[in-house]
Structure 1
Amino acid sequence: PVTQSVSIGPSSESDLLSLFLVITMALPLAVLLLVTFLLLSVFYVKRRYSYWARQKVPFSEPEFPYGSFKDINRKSLADFSTDHYRRWRSTGTRFFGSFLFLEPLLTIVDLDLIKTVLIKDFNYFPDRGVFHNARDDPLSAHLFAIEGNPWRSLRTRLSPTFTSGKMKVMFSTLAAVGDSLSEFLVNEVGCGKDMQIKDVMARFTTDVIGSCAFGIECNSFKEPNSEFRKFGQLVFETPRHSLMMSLFLRLYPDAGKRLRIKSLRDECSEFFYKLVKNMMNYREKNEIERNDFLNMLIQLRKNEKQLSVEEIAAQSFIFFAAGFETSSSNQTFCLYELALNQDCQEKARKCVLDAIKKYGGLTYEAVCDMPYLDQCINEILRMYPSLSILERKAFQDYHIPDSNIVIPKGMKINIPVFAIHRDERYYPNPDVFDPDRFRPEEMAKRHLSTFLPFGEGPRICIGLRFGMLQSRVGLATILSRFKVSPCEKTPIPVEFSNTAIVLQPKGAVWLKVEPL
């Protein structure tokens, strides 16, 4: 790749000035003003697109008006970012520039620098820069999006909610949903049946989150078109804005707030807000307590009197949205790869059955003692991370160590997680499913920054433990009683959606499910 700037209009500032002087002598005032505006606009765009060239940073050539992201609507974000990553990695650069619309972005590919940014120098990059609008769209102001002191305060108060002790308390609810999954499959499969496995796992995670977050029995296996599931699908499958518009709002959040733009669909916000408010009122009126996420938030509100109803609704919403989609996709991809790799499936099944026998059932202790199943889940998180890119925003000017480059306050940086996970330098044959990569001795050989499915540092995913537990229960439930294999409708290879905001398969994922 060759570092170069974009050519827009005349080749230099002097050419622009000469052209301007010629035009001023020949045109009336109104036309003159228009031409002046156009020339200044061209000059401004040219100046913006020369930013990385002036900084002497290698960059992907921009093209007005989309910058370096012209093809983003034709590819998934995972494929798009990987194309850029592979273009530059062979040059040995630690980072490279790009442009989203007119805004310069910096993508970091050096593993040590990634670790520094996420952990050691976290105070320079504490925020994700995700658009949220608490005034007009209160549910968008959740833990994943909010910034600064409000984030620090809320993170500190919510962290005790996701301890291993709390996960153990929630396990009985998870196990009950696992029993419903097993019963559903027994009734549906018969001697064997082709099934849309993404739909099955989405029902499972909907019921898990409904129970663990809100104390609601969604019964998705009996009522697949329930309102709860319908609005969960709307959030991810038909978001309010296109991917390009979402990226625009992340770059210009202040403009979005001034224009009172919302990020969530009105019907979704209304549904979840009313749901949480009604559940809170009912529990407080009847003095009901449950071992779920909503109850923990209600207790925080009682004890500290700092959480508003809107804040509780926002945190409940992101717990549902993140847990529902990311975990169902993770389990779908895992079953897909295990179907294609029967030897790995047999090893995973033996691991599950051995643990069930050891602990006398599918207990909390059993699912925490399934090392090969954990290796399979981690390999899926490597191959199919929910977030293809980690985003951070500079809180103050940051001088990149061992360079002359300063990242100015407010600039967005990207860490291409999917591309790093598929880099053969760190994972030989990266497109091959190989759970042995995550044996403890193999993990010890790799750099921390080669595996970032949950992020890293103080802003690591707060729901990591719950997500892993949910995946273990769903997968162990299926593997202990059923065999999955490819069928005629199985997509090989799987393609990724170019509209979803998280990594999802494009279209249905069909597998044959048979009882053991």
Structure 2
Amino acid sequence: MITLSILLALVLGLIGYIAYSMRQSLSYWQQLGIPCEEPDSKSGNITGLGSTRSFADIWLHTYKKFKGTGPFCGFYWGRGANVFVLTPELAKLVLIKDFNKFTDRGFYTNVKHDPLSGQLFLLDGHKWRSMRSKLSPTFTSGKMKLMYPVIVRVGEELANMFAKMQKEDPVIEVKELLARFTTDVIGTCAFGIECNSLKDPNSEFRVMGRKALTDVRFGPYARFFVNTFPNLARFLRVKMVPDHITDFYMRIVRENIEYREKNNIRRNDFFDMLLDLKNNKLMKSEDGQSMSITVEELAAQAYVFLIAGFETSSTTLSFALYELAQHQDVQDRARQEINEVLERYDGQFTYECMSEMVYLNQIISETLRLYTVLPVLNRKSLVDYPVPGHPKYMIKKNMKVLIPVGAMHRDPDLYPNPDDFNPDNFAPEKVAKRDCIEFLAFGEGPRNCIGMRFGQMQVRVGLAYLLKNFKFSVCDKTPIPMQYNLASYLVSSKSGIYLRVDKV
């Protein structure tokens, strides 16, 4: 009887401790006097995510509500206390000036059992630094120039496909077609595969590319456990990438390596550069570390090149056409510039002519401002960090930091009339006066987007080919106002984007 009483007391004590801990976890910011929204007991401050609100909605709501209260406000992601950055000054400290204290993103990886999770975007600490130094030389302007002809060829195929479809019906759903364009570009450059998804929307590579973004191994509660207890999850050999995704990409990488090495083939693409890293066992970095990579590391970097490149670029392209269809004056000015530049280069889409299409690049930047595909940047504090000038505001070690770049891009103090599409926001003279931290579509600092040049290049080529040959306008099926996908971490449309397309 005594034993039973002791056991019952232990159980009740445990329940009480758990209940107390749960209450404490959702009162962290309140006890410190840091402004925050009252959290829901289950979802924290992300209530309604996927049903009534998107991630971008949540970031924008929080930013507008608490801007001006301090350098950051409190934010609960589930039961986790996060820092929600509210000022460009703090964003600059985290991303640039005090970067060494915020190098990590804090995402789960399990390189040993889940090889595709060993991608640059997810890696932290020394593994990230090592991989970044290995990959940086593959994204120089010189290497981009080598890959440029491949993108131009696929750009011609994109224009031909639009022409073919326009003959059948001038109303075209552009979102999926542009996703097939960027899939073909990256499939060719990152995997050396002629995907042909522009011609065949059901090609294996396109189907698997969609699955890489939509298929998940676990639901939200399991993902919360993994991110809360990463070391335990690795001990239990928990994998996040579904097996069919891993099997497919590992297979095509191994087949491609075998084919190129057996036949001594070089294509001057991203895959060639990764192969050079794999095979160069003697190359050392400045700190004496080997610059070579394993087959699994090669596959992970090719994989992230795909998932980070084709969706973000195709989304940017589709939103750019969506805005140009509603702003004919902007579209006409861009088309005139494209024709004038191409005339100077005898009608050839050369690598050099892209930099001369200044207004086209303004359109792309303004699209990325208004539709920031990755609307938040994640970092993790490696130390206890008192915010300079604000002694009350302490970012504790291992705390997650959220920088709501999409919300900052719609701040009227940074961009007048921020909800209007205005490429003149990125006129050269305005860019010269603007602090770099005020435009973060590609991040900033040592951990900015390593593929920025490549992403900009394929968007420029695709947009230039389309505007040179076609006029885009709205139709009855055009979604105005834009309806967004509430479940996606990225900013994307809820459904297809239909536009009227006429040959110029």
Superposition TM-score, scaled by structure 2 size = 0.93
Alignment of 1:180-195 (within 5 A): 180-190=157-167, 193-195=170-172
In 1, the alpha carbon distance for the partners of 2:99 and 2:136 equals: 18
The yes-or-no answer on 1:136 pairing with 2:113 is yes
Alignment of 1:212-223 (within 5 A): 212-223=189-200
Partner of 2:306: 320
Offset at residue 499 of structure 1 (A): 2.0
Partner of 1:286: 263
- CA deviations on 1:193-233 (whole Å, 9 max, x unpaired) are 11110111011101101111122111112211011000111
Offset at residue 240 of structure 1 (A): 3.7
The yes-or-no answer on 1:498 pairing with 2:494 is no
The farther-off stretch of 131-140 and 377-386 is 131-140
Distance 1:244 1:36, change over 3 A: closer
The yes-or-no answer on 1:40 pairing with 2:17 is yes
Distance 1:191 1:356, change over 3 A: farther
Matched letter for residue 79 of structure 1:
D
Identity of matched residues, %: 43
Offset at residue 446 of structure 1 (A): 2.9
Alignment of 1:140-219 (within 5 A): 140-190=117-167, 193-219=170-196
The yes-or-no answer on 1:55 pairing with 2:32 is yes
In 1, the alpha carbon distance for the partners of 2:159 and 2:357 equals: 19
The farther-off stretch of 171-180 and 28-37 is 28-37
Unaligned runs of 5+ in 1: 1-26
Alignment of 1:206-245 (within 5 A): 206-242=183-219
Matched letter for residue 140 of structure 1:
S
Offset at residue 245 of structure 1 (A): 5.4
Distance 1:72 1:303, change over 3 A: same
Partner of 2:88: 111
Partner of 2:41: 64
Unaligned runs of 5+ in 2: 283-291
Offset at residue 246 of structure 1 (A): 4.6
Partner of 1:300: 277
Partner of 1:362: 349
In 2, the alpha carbon distance for the partners of 1:410 and 1:495 equals: 36
Offset at residue 28 of structure 1 (A): 5.1
Partner of 1:508: 496
CA RMSD of the aligned region, Å? 1.9
In 1, the alpha carbon distance for the partners of 2:475 and 2:368 equals: 24
User: Contact 2:26–2:41 at 8 Å: present in 1 too?
Assistant: no
Distance 1:274 1:342, change over 3 A: same
1:142 aligned counterpart, secondary structure: coil
- How many residues align? The count is 490
Offset at residue 261 of structure 1 (A): 2.6
In 2, the alpha carbon distance for the partners of 1:163 and 1:244 equals: 41
In 2, the alpha carbon distance for the partners of 1:247 and 1:290 equals: 42
Matched letter for residue 488 of structure 1:
D
User: Contact 2:141–2:453 at 8 Å: present in 1 too?
Assistant: yes
The yes-or-no answer on 1:390 pairing with 2:377 is yes
Offset at residue 445 of structure 1 (A): 3.3
The list of structure 1 runs, each at least 4 consecutive aligned residues, that deviate by more than 6 angstroms after superposition, is: none
The yes-or-no answer on 1:88 pairing with 2:66 is yes
Partner of 1:465: 453
In 2, the alpha carbon distance for the partners of 1:271 and 1:244 equals: 27
- CA deviations on 1:136-179 (whole Å, 9 max, x unpaired) are 21001101111111111111111111111111111111111011
1:460 aligned counterpart, secondary structure: coil
Partner of 1:479: 467
Alignment of 1:4-43 (within 5 A): 29=6, 31-43=8-20
The farther-off stretch of 374-383 and 189-198 is 189-198
- CA deviations on 1:341-397 (whole Å, 9 max, x unpaired) are 111111111111111111122111112210000000000110111211100011222
The yes-or-no answer on 1:372 pairing with 2:349 is no
Offset at residue 114 of structure 1 (A): 0.8
The yes-or-no answer on 1:73 pairing with 2:45 is no
The yes-or-no answer on 1:311 pairing with 2:288 is no
Alignment of 1:233-272 (within 5 A): 233-242=210-219, 246=223, 249-272=226-249
Offset at residue 50 of structure 1 (A): 2.4
Matched letter for residue 511 of structure 1:
L
Distance 1:241 1:491, change over 3 A: farther
In 2, the alpha carbon distance for the partners of 1:502 and 1:273 equals: 26
Matched letter for residue 395 of structure 1:
L
In 2, the alpha carbon distance for the partners of 1:257 and 1:39 equals: 29
Partner of 2:421: 433
Could you tell me which of 315, 321, 326 is aligned with 1:329?
315
- CA deviations on 1:265-321 (whole Å, 9 max, x unpaired) are 221111111000110011111111111111101111111363111000000101111
The farther-off stretch of 464-473 and 47-56 is 47-56
1:511 aligned counterpart, secondary structure: strand
Partner of 2:412: 424
Distance 1:243 1:83, change over 3 A: farther
Matched letter for residue 452 of structure 1:
L
